[in-house]
A and B are shown apart, each in its own frame.
Chain A
């Protein structure tokens, strides 16, 4: 079984807990993917364009930016490797949702593990906006089953049950 885990720098513990039932599997292969999001770079390019400058920074600045991105990606994957010894590390750059889906197909993943959104970015409580755009895209487009790794939450339950109404009132 080939399980691809999506790391975002803050979700290793959640992924680790979710992987517990699979760890006993005999033919388990774990892949850890981290995508350097190039969205922020697009934002910077837009601002440069607005100020009538070339879209790319000076070469020295580009080198520094790339060095920072690679260092962080390697850090995050290294942390993952310490938890999942023997895992394959997959470092990508691009739009995270697309890279995850494409990598799942290329890597021939049987299962994808992803958190609904980075807990830093918004509340992780269940609700209409609890699934971020990356997880939403992956759920919609993944080439294999996807396990959405939510944090356990019992505070909001039970949800309000709508009373059933007679047919003629509908």
Chain B
């Protein structure tokens, strides 16, 4: 429409804002069980059809964010190829083996293993791959399942700001606001350790009774059973060590992490193909392609919104609320992003916030760093607050609960509401002190 005739700026702004709001509401409520990618792409398509963003501008936006797309591709491939080798099953078995038959030590080991996996292979690997493995393990050991399940799903997010590669959100934010490795570690590594400690402490307190007694390791099949091919398993272990070192070196030298992830995935794929452990189509089936559609749609929608100046105004509002102080920046950034991730998904929230934070570039470095670190922190940890990182689902759970219906998500919601605010406060204060 706007391609063919001129429309006043105010109408254009209203149209873009309306489409953005409808898209975000759609992601929030997902009517008719539509998936998020379809909604985001529909929003982007509508903007393109109405000429509110030009195809060239949309294309440039997507090309500029190649680092994010490639990182998602590399990260998912590495996890999938490591899973094929049985690495995660083997690690979980070792966690049980070194627990000395104590459920409490196994619980601690689950946290430590989740931390290690999230740190180098991202929160997705912990939440999506480690969780079902731990579920299988504790089922066989006849231990209470929920504490271990929650340990995995929580630590996936709690440990996801130890390194830039620990969460794709970190890549989205740092693509716009590059932080050198030292600054990233200085602002987020120690808070992350603190928050992990708080997470473990609260969970031990809540589940202390359920974790009493002993378990029998002989209930588990041997560790060797999880390894499908010994040579490929060793190859994967070696390759992952190299990839982890490469990640740190790349982050230190500001080399694109996505290229390391893709390179690592390629190395693993070559090994998997050589030992006939997977085929390319089989690997393709294990990746979630809809994520790319979702991110692409969101990037285009937010780019359109950015062109109206609304995100700049939102950034100015955040800056105003922070009072222009580092403390305010950390608190406003953390609360804003944590609440936002629970209104919508954390990916669109990170995209909206990074766009909005363009307006902080003239502020002192401490304020800038405060906002950036708090955005990463809030978007990474925020999803732990509610069942699926969405207030819409929580409202639904509350309604079901009022009707005395049993809702499994209620347990997760309770634990999130107890644990996450404490972690957010501790982490935000730590970031502020380290600025």
Q: Is A53 an interface residue (CB 8 A)?
A: yes
* Chain B residues within an 8 Å CB radius of A44: 131-132, 135, 149
The contact of B132 among A39, A57, A120, A122, by CB within 8 Å, is A57
Q: List 28 A-B contacts (CB under 8 A).
A: A37-B145, A39-B408, A42-B408, A43-B149, A43-B408, A46-B409, A47-B128, A47-B388, A48-B127, A48-B128, A49-B388, A50-B383, A50-B388, A50-B389, A51-B128, A52-B35, A52-B291, A52-B345, A54-B288, A57-B132, A65-B132, A68-B140, A72-B140, A72-B142, A118-B144, A120-B144, A122-B210, A137-B406
Q: Which 7 A-B pairs have the closest CB atoms?
A: A39-B408, A68-B136, A50-B388, A68-B139, A42-B408, A40-B145, A53-B288
Q: Is A61 an interface residue (CB 8 A)?
A: yes
Q: How far is the CA of A121 from the CA of B207 in the complex (A)?
A: 8
Q: How far is the CA of A48 from the CA of B213 in the complex (A)?
A: 31
- Count contacts between A and B, CB distance < 8 Å: 94
* Chain A residues within an 8 Å CB radius of B380: none
Number of B positions contacting A (CB below 8 A): 42
Q: How far is the CA of A58 from the CA of B88 in the complex (A)?
A: 14
Q: How far is the CA of A46 from the CA of B290 in the complex (A)?
A: 17
Q: How far is the CA of A122 from the CA of B207 in the complex (A)?
A: 9
The verdict on A133 contacting B388 (CB below 8 Å), with A43-B149, A68-B136, A72-B140 known, is: no
Interface residues, chain A, CB within 8 Å of chain B?
9-10, 37, 39-40, 42-44, 46-54, 57-58, 61, 64-65, 68-69, 71-72, 75-76, 95, 97, 118, 120-123, 133, 137
Is the contact region of chain A dominated by helix, strand, or loop, or is it mixed?
Answer: helix
- Annotate B206-239 by CB proximity to A: 1 below 8 A, 0 otherwise: 0001101100000000000000000000000000
Establish whether residues A65 and B136, one from each chain, have CB atoms under 8 Å apart when the complex forms.
yes
When C-beta atoms are compared, the residue in chain A nearest to B144 turns out to be A120
> Which parts of B130-164 form the interface with A (CB within 8 Å)?
131-132, 135-137, 139-140, 142, 144-146, 149-150, 153, 156
Told that A43-B146, A51-B288 touch, could you supply 18 new A-B pairs with CB distance under 8 A? A39-B408, A43-B408, A43-B409, A44-B131, A47-B127, A47-B153, A47-B156, A48-B128, A52-B37, A54-B288, A65-B135, A68-B140, A69-B139, A72-B139, A118-B144, A120-B210, A123-B209, A133-B406
Q: How far is the CA of A46 from the CA of B131 in the complex (A)?
A: 12
Establish whether residues B345 and A50, one from each chain, have CB atoms under 8 Å apart when the complex forms.
yes
Q: How far is the CA of A71 from the CA of B387 in the complex (A)?
A: 30
Q: How far is the CA of A51 from the CA of B35 in the complex (A)?
A: 12
* Chain B residues within an 8 Å CB radius of A49: 388
> Which parts of B372-419 form the interface with A (CB within 8 Å)?
383, 387-390, 406, 408-409, 411-412
